[in-house]
Structure 1
Amino acid sequence: MTEVSLTRLNNVASHKLIGGGVRNVNVSLQYYDRQLAASLPNFAYFHIYGLQRHLGDLKAGMSSEDSSLKPSYEVPKWITADLLDVGEDMISSWENVYCEDPDNPDRDPPGYIGYRNVLRDAHREYKALFEAQEEMRSSGRFLSSIVTAMPKMPFTTSLRISDRPNRIQEKDAYFLDRDYYASMRALMLAPHTWSDAAVLYTRPDFDPPGELLHKLPVAIHEAGTVLRQITIQCSTPWSYETLRMSLSERSSLVASVQSLDAFSLLVDGINGRNGWILPINEGAPGLVFDLLSSFMSTSSLSKLTIAFPEFGLRPSCLFEVLNRTPDAQPRTVRLKGAAFYLRELQKYLDHFDLPCELILEVPDLIVGSWVDLAECLHNHPMVSTVILSSWGGDLENPEKRTQWISDEEKRLNDYLQKRTHVNPFINNEA
C-alpha cells in the first residue's frame, strides 16, 4: 500500500505492449504502523529490539554451524566481531532516543549522534509513508487505482493478495549489505506483515486491511475484469473482525467469482509460524469460513487449495464448510492441516460424481479408524487420494498414532491409488 507501487502498476497498465503481457497481479497488503509513525521513542524501541535479535542470530551463526539460533541465510564473510561491536554501539545510542535523552556532544562517545540521526531520518520518512498509506486507504484511492489498471491489461485473469515480506524483511538483516547503512535504512522503511502487529504492542493501533480480501475481487469484477484464479496468502491478522461481510457484501462476492477456475487460501504461515489459528471465543471461525464458502460458491471451480497450520482448526469445521458448498466439485482438492471426523469426509466425498484428485497434507483424523479411512478412500469410484504426512495411524496398531517412515507412507498411498488392493493397516493386523 505505497504510492510507489501504485505508480508502477499504472505505468505497466498504460504501456500497451507490457500491459498486454501481464497475466497476474500481486496485491501486497503490508502496512505502516500508527504508533511507530507517531512516536520516535516507540520507533527506537522497536529497532533496539530488532537489532538485538539480529546480533544474537549473527553471533550464533558465527560461533557454531549447528546452532539452532543461527539465521536461515548464510552469514556474509565480511561480518566480523568488530562489526557486531558497532551494532552494540548503535543499540546503546538509540537507548537515549527511547528515553528521550537529548544529544550531548561532550558526553556521547564518537559516532553515537550519527547513529541516532540515521534513526531519526528513517523515522521522518516512515511517518510520511504512513500518512500516505492512510490517505490512500481512507480515500479509496488504493482500491480504485488497482481496479482502474486491471481492465487495461486484457489478459490479466489472476489475482494474488498477500502480506508476504520482501527480501530485506525476510532476513531481518540490518547488516545484510556491506554498506550496512543502506540495508538498515531499507529495513527501517519496510512495511509490516499482518502478524507483526502481534509483536509490536499488546494492543497495536492498526487494523490490517482484511476487508480488501472481499472488496478487491468485487471491485475488479464490477470494473469488467473476469478473474479465473484468486490466491490469498496472508499471515494471521490481529483481529479477524475486518473479515466480516454484510449480506449484500457477501452476495456481491459470490457474484464476482462465478467464473473462478482456481482458488487458494494459504494461511498456514511461513515456516510454521504466523498461520491462522482461529480463536473460537472471538467468532473467528465463522468469519473466516463465511469468506471461504463465498469464494467456493461456484460450479466453475476446478482447483481448490486450502492450507491451515497443523492443529489450527477445531475438529471437522473445515469439512462442515465444504459440505455447505455442494455446487463446487473441483477436479483437484488439496487440504493441509484439516482435522476431521471420518463421517464428515465421507459426506464430502459423496458430492463427487466426476473424477477428482484429493491431496490430504498432514491430516488429523479425530474420530474414526485409519483402517476405515483407508478403505473409504480406496473404494471411492471418483476420488483418487494421496496422503502427504510424516505421521498417522500405526500400521501395527491403527488405533495409535505414530511417526511414519517414508516406506509406510508409500504403502498407504499405493493402496489409496489402487496400485495394490492390500490395506496396509488390515494386512498388519492379520
Structure 2
Amino acid sequence: MADISATQTGKSGVWKSDEWQRLLEKRKRGDFQLKLAGLAALGFAILMLAILFASLISTGWQALRQTHVTVAFELSADRIDPANPIRGNYRAIVGDAVAELFPELQGPALRSATGILSTGAQNALRDLVVRDPSRIGETVTLTVPTSDPYDQLNKGLVDRTTPEAQRRVTDAEIALFDSLAERGLISKPINWALVTAADSRFPELAGLKGALWGSFYALLVCFLISFPTGIAAGIYLEEFAPKNRFTDIIEININNLAAVPSVVFGLLALAVFLGWFGMPRSAPLVGGMTLALMTLPTIIIATRAAVKAVPPSIREAALGVGASKHQVVMSHVLPLAMPGILTGTIIGLAQALGETAPLLLIGMNAFITAAPESILAPSTALPTQIFIWADSPERGFVSRTSAAILVLLAFLVLMNAIAVFLRSRFERRW
C-alpha cells in the first residue's frame, strides 16, 4: 500500500498517487492506440475498396458506349431471294454500301474499308428483311456498330502516335475512319447491347443478356429448393429434434458444410447430377441445384439463430393458452423469426450469385449466343461470363469484363441492401 505521504488529494476528494497516475496515463495511451489501429484498419479497407472501384470504373465505363456508323444499304433483289430472305447475300450488300461511301477504293483497299463495319451490320440487315420482306428493293439507312479496332480508335484507346507496325489499324484505315467522322457519320451512343444482347466472339456485339437470364434461372431454382428445405431443417433441429449424439453430429456437419470450398460442391454436382442422373450439362437447373447445396447450410444456420432469438416467454404463453407445439412454432415463433430467416436467405443467395467454381465444373461456361428460354436450356451465368471475357485475348473484352463485374457488384449490393432493409423493417428487439 502506497505511503500516505506519497499521495495527494485532488479537488474531487479522491486519493491519488504517482503509481495510480502512471497507470491511468498508460490506460489512456492504450485506448488511443486501439482507436488509432481501428481507424487505420478502416482507412486501409476503404482505400483498397476505392482502388478496386476506381480500377473497374476507369476501364468499365468505356463499355457503356459503343461506336456506330450510319450507312445507307440497298436491299437489292439481286442479293436477296424474296422466297427465302434469311439466306440473302448480306455480306455483299454491306460491301456495296461501303463502296458507295468510298468510291475511290477498289480491291484490297475496299475490303479493308469494309472491315470498319462490324459483322453485326449483316445481322441487322438480315433481321430487318426477315421481319418485313416488303423492304426488299428499298434503300435503308441504319446505324450499325463498328468493328472493335475502330471502336478502340474512336475511344482513344489506340495511340495514333504508335508506329504503324505496332497498331491494329494502319494509317490508311485511320484516314478512312476520320473521313467518316468528318462527314458526321460516326456516333457513340449508349451501349444498350451490353444488357440486351447475348454473348458473341466479337466484342462490339457481346452482351450480358444470356448471363443475366442464366443467373436468374439458377437463383430461382436455388431459392425454390434451399428456402423451404433450409427453414424446415432449421426449425426441426431447433424445436423438435431430440438432443442426442446423432443430432450433435448433424449440427457439427452443417456448420462444417458452411465452410467447405465451393469447388467441392461443383465436384459433387459433376459426379452426381451429371454423372449419375445424366442431367443436362450447362443447364440452369443443375446450376441452381448446385448452388442450393451451397446455400442450404447458411439458411439452416440463419434459421436456427433466428428461432433461438425468439424469447422463451412467447412459447410459454402460447403453450399456456392451450396451443400445441406445432401451433406454437407455426403461428408464433416462425413469424417472429422470419425477418432473420429472410436476411440469412438473401445473404446466402447473394453469395451464390457470385460463385464461379461450381458453375465452371458443370459446364456453365460454354459459348452460348442466345439467352436461355427455360431452366433446361444451355446457359452461362454472370460470374462465368466474366471468366470467359477475362480469358479472351480481344482488347474490347477488357472494358466489358470490368462492366460485367460492376453489374454483378450492383446486384450483390442490391441484395444486401434488401437484407438490411428487411432486418430493420421487421426485426423486433426484446
**Alignment TM class, shorter chain as reference:** under 0.3
Higher share of residues assigned strand: 1
TM-score (normalizing by structure 1) = 0.19
Higher relative contact order (CA 8 A, sep 6+): 2
TM-score (normalizing by structure 2) = 0.19
Higher share of residues assigned helix: 2
- Please tell me whether Structure 1 or Structure 2 has the larger radius of gyration of its CA atoms: 2
